Amino acid sequence: MSGDAGGAQTERPAVPIVIIMDEDAATRGATVMIDRAGDDRALGTFTTLRPGGRGRTGGPLGRRAFLGAAGALALGWAGSGWSDADYAPARRGMLDAIADTTTRTAASTGVGAIDPTVMAALDRVLRHAFVPPEIEGLAYENRPLPIGHGQTISQPYIVALMTHLLALRPHHRVLEIGTGSGYQAAVLAELVDRVHTIEIVPPLARQATERLPRLGYGNVDIRLGDGYHGWPEAAPFEAIIVTAAATHVPPPLVAQLAPGGALVIPVGEPFSVQMLLLVRKGADGEVTVRQILPVRFVPLTGGH
């Protein structure tokens, strides 16, 4: 139920950082782990770092490291009373990272910029509300994050790209396979009339069933079950999105796709690099498939 750009990121050792809220409160610092990224060099101790603000460090600090450390600060202070508005600067940073990654992958994807309506939806959805409280502060980093039960919430860039590829319109009805924490469903719900989403992991389905209405997403229907077979009684769908990797494109999903519709799905072997595919069904029912980008997703599970 989540993924990241397979060629865009690699695993790097984590680096411990001590974050201090202000120079008179060193004892309130929190030691956390930050993923080292890009061309970051020495990482040091920050002072007077707060949401939307800047920090000072005794050593060189790359832009990505600063953003990561800001996220770590939020992690260390999860539950400290931050309002949704406090996360707005981090959310804008996430949008900048999505735009940057989109530019860098354009030669492969054919997508030079994400649809502004999709970017606006991503700006409205409170991503930190869809991750466990202990990692809220990392919610707006451009990377997947664990949500429990062996599942993750997708990298924001991948959420943006897959949503963009669906070419959604307000009257559309969308089927999502792999609800996870509900984040992708919330983004879709910002853009279309109705979202049907299927989750196979019972605790995640229960959590999403509580979370989405609480956050105001009343146009999402959630079902516990095997998404391979789709939701035939609610079909056809103008768009279908699969947020777990299948070994092939499920025929039931193609059958439930409306003429003129689009299906986005990662296909490949489990726990390996897969290929993100864009499947289109023409007005005459003819199906075409286009390869988009190497990705990594957790496997699509079930009895199929």
Active site positions, annotated: 154
Cβ contacts of 175 within 8 Å, gap of 6 or more: 196, 197, 198, 230, 231, 234, 235, 237, 239, 240, 241, 253, 256
Q: Are strands 237-242 and 257-267 parallel, antiparallel or unpaired?
A: parallel
Q: Reduce the DSSP state of residue 36 to 3 states and report it.
A: coil
Q: List the structure tokens of 27.
A: 């004892």
- Burial of residue 71 (number of CB atoms within 10 Å: 0-12, 13-18, 19+): buried
For residues 78 and 33, give the distance between their C-alpha atoms in angstroms, rounded to a whole number: 15
**Which has the closest alpha carbon to 102: 115, 92, 112, 110?**
112
Residue found under tokens 């279309």 = 192
Q: Is the peptide bond before 116 cis (omega within 30 degrees of 0)?
A: no
For residues 216 and 166, give the distance between their C-alpha atoms in angstroms, rounded to a whole number: 23
Contact status, residue 263 vs residue 79, Cβ threshold 8 Å: no
Q: Which H/E stretch holds residue 212? A: helix 202-214
Residue found under tokens 């196979």 = 200
HEC profile of 40-105: CCCCCCEECCCCCCCCECCCCCCHHHHHHHHHHHHHHCCCCCCCHHHHHHHHHHHHHHHHHHHHHC
